Structure 1
Amino acid sequence: MGELRVAMVQGGTDRRLDGVADYTGHLVPALRDVGVDVVDLASDVDIVHVQHAPFGFPDGMGESRFPAPLVTTLHEYDETLVPLSDALVVTNPSHARELRRRTGRSAWHIPLAPNVPVCDVPARRFGGTTVVFFGFVHPVKGTRYLIEAVQRLSGVRLVVVGGFESLAMPPDEAAAYRAELEALADERVEFTGHLPVHEVSAVLHGADVAVLPFTAGVTTKSGALLTVLAHGLPTVVTDAGDPELVDGETVVVASPVRSADAIVTALQRVLGDSALRERLSMRGKAMVAERTWPAIARRHRELYEQVLRNG
């Protein structure tokens, strides 16, 4: 099969404000490298592919009609487009299980790749033991519990890397939330705001441990998680039951969620055990090594061809 024409439909378009837009921004050039021409929605396309997250389509798409077979990637679990879709994509095993449980349908599991590459740049050092949080800063990311935890640990600094404003948090709310967190923090906590890719990589090179304390737990649908693992950082996550995130092997799991105490315990465990840190670094990097955008693009091409063969 020769070149395919795919209409890519998404909600947000600003990659600084929307993780799905950032994902699509990585995917599209990789698709073009495998012979998939990504175009605007039109009547002469082979496939329509919707990158779906409910916050990206606040008015819904349940009554939409499409001019070609529909593929939907469920970035957040939502059943809106499931009945209309010829094929479904999930980025993690948890969503695949939930989809099958609720609808009986199977999906293509196409994992994410890191959303920031490991750049060849000098490490940015902050002095002392440095814990890093990376990603959009939003109440559901649990950053307040991490701030509280770090402030209980002697000699530990926290660097919060990421913007506050996003599709899920408009400017006024973002400014208020940042002020709230800054009021909780002491001088050992630094907020960098949004940084260019190479500066993010420099901070990650200079950190000792990453912590992602999401209030719903962490899964491998998190590009931030894959990014810190790719940088070789021993990583603490809150528990969402993801089978790929094995306590003491690929990550250290802090449980329960929304608990500064749990984060303190997990950090003490990691910081106090050099062999554990080395194992987490090695196995975390190995887990994400094959999750590349070229590989992801090839899997999408296979999916599109199967949908067209199935008619």
Structure 2
Amino acid sequence: MTELALVTHSTSPRGGMVHTLALAEALQAAGQAVHVVTQGDPAAGLFRPTTVPCTVLPAPPRGGSLSDRVFASIDLLSGALGDMASRFDVLHTQDCIAARAAARVRDAGAPVSVVRTVHHVDDFTTRALIDCQRAAIREPDRVLVVSEQWRRILRDEHGRETTVVPNGVDPDRFPPVTPGRIAELRASIGAQDRFLFLGVGGVEPRKGTHVAFEALARLCARMPHPPMLAIVGGHSFRDYAAYRTETLARLPELGLELGRDVVLLGTLSEADLGAWYRSADALCFPSLQEGWGLAVLEAMAADLPVIAGDLPVFREYLMNRYDALMPATGDATALARAMQEMYADRALRRRLREGGRRTVARWTWAASARRHLAVYEEVRAGAARAAR
């Protein structure tokens, strides 16, 4: 069986890289020879250990504009992939940067097929980046999406037919932690006796952070012992500095204090991320746009009850009040009601945990890997026919 490359542009433990590494491990377990190619700090390696062979290429310098960094990243990746291409017959890319680099290698004559997973389409405003993203949807030989919602979006808005291959979760990724570790983490942010909501994904417009802050402010204004919110993450190739600054600057006028009511945990190690999932009381995930929402399944795998916005993609695998509370997307009042109900109802939290365990059992990386393997065989067969 020919080796397969999974390619992404960053080692940051965000959705694309988490997806890439978990899929690579599941493919390897299924007998597929696989190699991960990514960009970052070669000395630091990946965000967690893995048995999958991996090449970490130096990332471009942080200087210059976002456009400059994107194009530098494409240049570096395409050069490295060109040197490695003889080892692979399929380059499976996880983002627009990797997809454009792989397409360059193919178009230069390498006998490889390019598969792209579109997790979501970014709302770029720079014309060069918009064009780059559109080309990365148009150029691959096969495009995958992780949900029916994005299959419809790519068909209707981009004229591209795609194949749905959902994400998965490793039910054992985040094992239980000791009561002492839970107490230590909660004490470190002053959450000893406060209900703790966990947010995942940083302070970003797509994650609906401003909605979460407005909902939390409603609770803090009327509850004698209100909850608090801790947010994991923050690194992104996109520059959300303006949104982050503006959103955090609004905290005082909302009656919230950074460091007391809202705590920013930043980018965490794999072990620390799992420990926070196990130490919080509920996930608050009011995203305005998601390709799938890996954090939801991660939380459920860690027995953390979930609040998620009522997005079409979430309705593909969640059921309101069975495995999650699903208030109206973008509605701070509805989110505040869901947060207060989660806070007040211990029996509800127990039922959501139980429903979450059943949902996790249906969406595993092993199942996702089997569907990917079928796609790769179709792509290889198509390439063989074209070569005859």
The residue matched to 2:230 in structure 1 has which SS? strand
Aligned to 1:9: 7
Unaligned runs of 5+ in 2: 38-80, 122-132
User: Structure 2 matches for 1:1-311, cutoff 5 A?
Assistant: 3-10=1-8, 12-16=9-13, 18-33=14-29, 34-38=31-35, 41=81, 42-53=85-96, 56=97, 64=104, 66=106, 67=110, 68-77=112-121, 80-102=135-157, 103=159, 105-113=161-169, 117-123=173-179, 124=182, 125=186, 126=191, 127-153=193-219, 154=223, 155-169=225-239, 176=245, 179-180=248-249, 183=252, 185-186=256-257, 187-216=260-289, 221-242=292-313, 243=315, 244-257=317-330, 259-310=331-382, 311=384
CA pair 200-181 structure 1, distance change in 2 beyond 3 A: farther
- Return 197-206 or 182-191, whichever deviates more: 182-191
Q: How far did 1:65 drift? A: 5.5
How far 1:104 sits from its partner (Å)?
Answer: 6.6
Aligned length: 300
Q: In the TM superposition, what is the alpha-carbon distance from 1:230 to its structure 2 partner?
A: 1.5
Residue of structure 1 in register with 2:75 after alignment: none
Higher RCO by CA contacts (8 Å cutoff, separation 6 or greater): 1
Which amino acid is the alignment partner of residue 212 of structure 2?
L
Gap change, CA 1:24 and 1:256, over 3 Å in 2: closer
Gaps of 5+ in 1: none
Q: Deviations over 1:153-180 (max 9, x none)?
A: 222332323232311137x658736853
Q: Distance in 2 between matches of 1:175 and 1:262?
A: 23
* Distance in 2 separating the partners of 1:214 and 1:120: 27
CA distance in 2, matches of 1:92, 1:36: 26
Sequence identity, in percent? 25
The answer to whether the 8 A contact 1:130-1:157 is kept is: yes
**Aligned-pair CA distance for 1:13:** 1.9
1:87 is aligned with what amino acid? R
Q: Is the 8 A contact 1:114 1:224 kept in 2?
A: no
TM-score (normalizing by structure 1): 0.82
1:91-135 per-position Cα deviation (integer Å, ceiling 9, x unaligned): 122112333445372404232326992223225242232222122
CA distance in 1, matches of 2:200, 2:36: 32
CA deviations 1:8-48 (Å, max 9, x no partner) are 332x22324x5313322333343333232326631452212
What is the Cα deviation at residue 90 of structure 1?
1.4
Q: Is the 8 A contact 1:116 1:197 kept in 2?
A: no
Letter in 2 for 1:50: T
Task: Indicate conservation of the 8 Å contact 1:132/1:209, yes or no.
Answer: yes
Secondary structure at the counterpart of residue 307 of structure 1 = helix
Greater C-alpha radius of gyration:
2
Letter in 2 for 1:15: S
- Give SS of 2:169's match: coil
**Residues 1:113 and 1:177: Cα distance change in structure 2 (over 3 Å):** farther
From the superposition, tell whether residues 287 and 120 of structure 1 become closer, same or farther in structure 2 (CA, over 3 Å). same
